[in-house]
Amino acid sequence: MSAASPAAPLTRRALLRTAFTAAVLAGTGAALAPVLRARRPRQTLTPAPLAEETYRGRHIAVDVAGVRIDGRPLHVMRRADGSYLSGINHFQSYPTPLELARAAVDELGTTQLALAAPHHG
């Protein structure tokens, strides 16, 4: 008597069970792929500031993403004539975003900007 028995012939039931298991595993893998991809740390590139300075004890950074005072975003609007105005003072425009940020610091005093950007509705 030999130790290994000959392989049993594949039945229709065994073939369907194998195909169903493979389909379930493939579907689960496809469903989980975006979740697993999202868990990977992403490399984020922070744009280099176009201008950065400390003005009256406040850190001002101007880059392509906008203007930040102490790391908090300042709502800035560009006018048709090329000047800028902010959410701090809608009535006066400034030739550069840096000058606008300095004026905002003057207006804010010791007050901090809100973390969330304002929403217009």
Q: How far, in Å, are 16, 69, 83, 84, 93 from residue 61 at the CA level?
A: 64, 7, 18, 15, 19
- What is the pLDDT at residue 45? 58
The pTM assigned to this predicted structure is 0.56
pLDDT at 55 over 90: yes
Looking at per-residue pLDDT, the higher value among 32 and 70 belongs to 70
pLDDT for 44 equals 57
Residue 45 or residue 110, greater confidence? 110
* pLDDT for residue 97: 92
pLDDT mean over 47-75: 88
- Is residue 31 within 8 Å of 77, Cβ to Cβ? no
Please work out, in degrees rounded to the nearest 5, the angle formed at the alpha carbon of residue 67 by the alpha carbons of 107 and 83: 75
